[in-house]
Structure 1
Amino acid sequence: MSEDRSGSQSKSWLDKLFGAFSSDTDEPSSRSELLQFLSEVGPRLNLDQDAIAIIEGALEISDQQVREVMIPRSQVQAIQVDQRPEEYLPLILESAHSRYPVIDENLDEVLGILLAKDLLPLILQNDSERKRFDLREAIRPAMFIPESKRLNSLLKEFRETRNHMAVVIDEYGGTAGLVTIEDILEQIVGDIEDEHDTDEDEDIRELGDGQYAVSALTTIDDFNEHFSTDFSDEEFDTVGGLMIQRFGHMPRRQESTDFTGWRFTVLNADNRRIRQVQVCRLEDATGDAPPSEEHRAHISGE
């Protein structure tokens, strides 16, 4: 009797779900059809757009690789193992990250991960005790993964090992970047305000060396006024809209495009929208080629 009841309940639930379509409509046979199906029957099942977006994000991470969401090497903030606390504590206070890779001579030699909370005992130590503090004894083992690892697989591994950060290795064994559990969750639920996100209080913020962080919601008119440019705002009002037009798709982190003498690189984005962009004149870009009138887009590091 229990099996019949269970089967009856399952059948009733499926009938309710797939019966939301007309009887002459086939059941979804692919991911795209399933998403379309959910968007159409969502209101009848009390699924709002946010819930449908989360389902879509959960499905998409099985196709995404670590290289698409990682914090690139150029933005990794690391601590050298022979540094004294007074040398790296200012970095920790300024960046407010919770985890840092600890390296030997360069980023390709990651020795482990330092959790900022593991430095709390230093507060109670006197000067002589701090001088004897050995960073090698405080670091935890680092988790190393390839750039090609699938996000769904990494999320499962994070949960099983209780790690929150992994060092991403390229095909030559060098450090390509870092990835955190938050980077994966953002692909599912949207942006999470965490320690890796840049401050968006200012729409346009100078980073140095001719680089600027620009909020994707910055109006094109404000951008033109600030940089003395003349980008058209006839079709789009914001920098984010302009970038999507140029790419022809929703770009991912570190994807960049060069046009009209400028390079635009996505700093912060999820599968729904662009949040933060890094911009610089092509003449200030490292290893840059002469500007091209034709739209050129590439994934940084590939």
Structure 2
Amino acid sequence: MPDHPADVRIPDVKPHRSLFERLTALISPEPENRSELLEVLHDAHDRNLIDADALSMIEGVFQVSDLSVRDIMIPRSQMDVIDISKPIEEWMPHVLTTAHSRFPATEGERDKVIGILLAKDLLRYYAEESFDVRDMLRPAVFIPESKRLNVLLRDFRANRNHMAIVVDEYGGVAGLITIEDVLEQIVGDIEDEYDFDEEEDNILPIKHGVYGPRWRVKALTEIEQFNQTLTTRLANDDVDTIGGLVANHLGRVPRKGDVFNIDNLRFEVLRADARQVNVLLVEKLPPVDVDEAD
């Protein structure tokens, strides 16, 4: 039998597709926008082609490009800071109690952030006779509230920063944000041994929105606690949590980006996966005029 010529190329064998699959490819156009792409992904999840975690992370990537820093930052009132104008003995117990790895360092006023202190640098306080906390401070990074999360994440990675101080349009400190906060929008909550599920963290006030005051609310927040904090009267005999109430209202598992009203409240789903909602943005709407409603 003669040998094959050296330049003869054996064609790649393509996987066989059924007639139905080929017809579907002809009549079903490729997704042309994000909404259609997400529908394809949800269909793939329904057919067990991708799991719930993968779907959730893909949705999180899309969500990061839509959110800005003001949407997920830790508000100024919730910031754990150290005031280096005071003796170290006064704020060291606070450092030990909160157990954060980084602290904004202020000087007298909360708006006067002069640097970032790494908790590990405080070990030198116990090892050295002379210790100047100012020498331990790292430069603070300041960013505007309007900065997009995808841009911030790229900056965090490029500059190897883990924390940024958020300032408002007047230059005042509005809050802070960490790389962990951004990553949690993609992969979900990143818990460590120092994270506590305390009730006071379930509802965090943030900057007012277009219509009124706003809060970031964990979906597992009890409806009773929600009503007490926001002075509302939401009620549902079938569920106990805000997440359950929202799911009942929609008639399905909430998805990231869902926006809807319940009574005089505007809800937006900030974080969710294929199984459940995790975090909501809630804004109080102005009361409806009865005459206008009629």
The reply to whether TM is greater than 0.5 is yes
1:113-262 map, 5 Å:
113-125=116-128, 129=129, 132-194=130-192, 199-200=196-197, 216-217=219-220, 220=223, 232-234=235-237, 236-242=239-245
Asked if structure 1 preserves the Cα contact closer than 8 Å seen for 2:272 and 2:279, the reply is no
Q: 1:145 to 1:201 in 2, by over 3 A?
A: closer
The residue number in structure 2 matching 1:68 is 71
The residue number in structure 2 matching 1:88 is 91
1:140 CA displacement: 0.1
1:84 CA displacement: 2.2
The residue number in structure 2 matching 1:22 is 24
Between stretches 106-115 and 34-43, larger displacement belongs to 34-43
Aligned to 1:157, the other structure's residue is in SS state: helix
The CA distance in 2 between the partners of 1:292 and 1:30, in whole Å, is 34
The residue number in structure 2 matching 1:270 is 271
Q: 1:112 to 1:203 in 2, by over 3 A?
A: closer
Structure 1 residues not aligned, in runs of 5+: 208-212, 279-290, 296-302
Letter matched to residue 95 of structure 1: T
The CA distance in 2 between the partners of 1:87 and 1:21, in whole Å, is 73
Q: 1:22 to 1:196 in 2, by over 3 A?
A: farther
1:67 CA displacement: 0.5
Larger radius of gyration: 2
The residue number in structure 2 matching 1:285 is none
The CA distance in 2 between the partners of 1:85 and 1:21, in whole Å, is 73
The CA distance in 2 between the partners of 1:230 and 1:168, in whole Å, is 34
Between stretches 44-53 and 96-105, larger displacement belongs to 44-53
The CA distance in 1 between the partners of 2:182 and 2:119, in whole Å, is 22
Structure 2 residues not aligned, in runs of 5+: 1-8, 205-215, 290-294
Asked if structure 1 preserves the Cα contact closer than 8 Å seen for 2:220 and 2:242, the reply is yes
The CA distance in 1 between the partners of 2:84 and 2:23, in whole Å, is 61
Asked if structure 2 preserves the Cα contact closer than 8 Å seen for 1:191 and 1:270, the reply is no
Q: TM-score, normalised by structure 2?
A: 0.68
1:84-107 per-residue CA deviation (whole Å, 9 max, x = no partner) reads 221111011111111110112212
Asked if structure 2 preserves the Cα contact closer than 8 Å seen for 1:244 and 1:250, the reply is no
1:178 CA displacement: 0.3
Asked if structure 2 preserves the Cα contact closer than 8 Å seen for 1:54 and 1:188, the reply is yes
1:97-116 map, 5 Å:
97-116=100-119
Asked if structure 2 preserves the Cα contact closer than 8 Å seen for 1:259 and 1:294, the reply is no
Asked if structure 1 preserves the Cα contact closer than 8 Å seen for 2:218 and 2:280, the reply is yes
1:175-194 per-residue CA deviation (whole Å, 9 max, x = no partner) reads 11000001111111111115
Percent of counterpart pairs with the same letter? Answer: 45
The residue number in structure 2 matching 1:283 is none
1:83-135 per-residue CA deviation (whole Å, 9 max, x = no partner) reads 2221111011111111110112212211010010111122223xxx2xx4221
* 1:56 corresponds to which of 54, 59, 84: 59
CA RMSD across the alignment? 4.7
Q: 1:171 to 1:218 in 2, by over 3 A?
A: closer
Q: 1:184 to 1:237 in 2, by over 3 A?
A: same
Aligned to 1:51, the other structure's residue is in SS state: helix
The CA distance in 1 between the partners of 2:68 and 2:200, in whole Å, is 30
Asked if structure 2 preserves the Cα contact closer than 8 Å seen for 1:73 and 1:177, the reply is yes
Aligned length: 257
The CA distance in 2 between the partners of 1:27 and 1:36, in whole Å, is 11
1:237 CA displacement: 3.1
The CA distance in 2 between the partners of 1:135 and 1:96, in whole Å, is 18
Letter matched to residue 181 of structure 1: I
Q: TM-score, normalised by structure 1?
A: 0.67
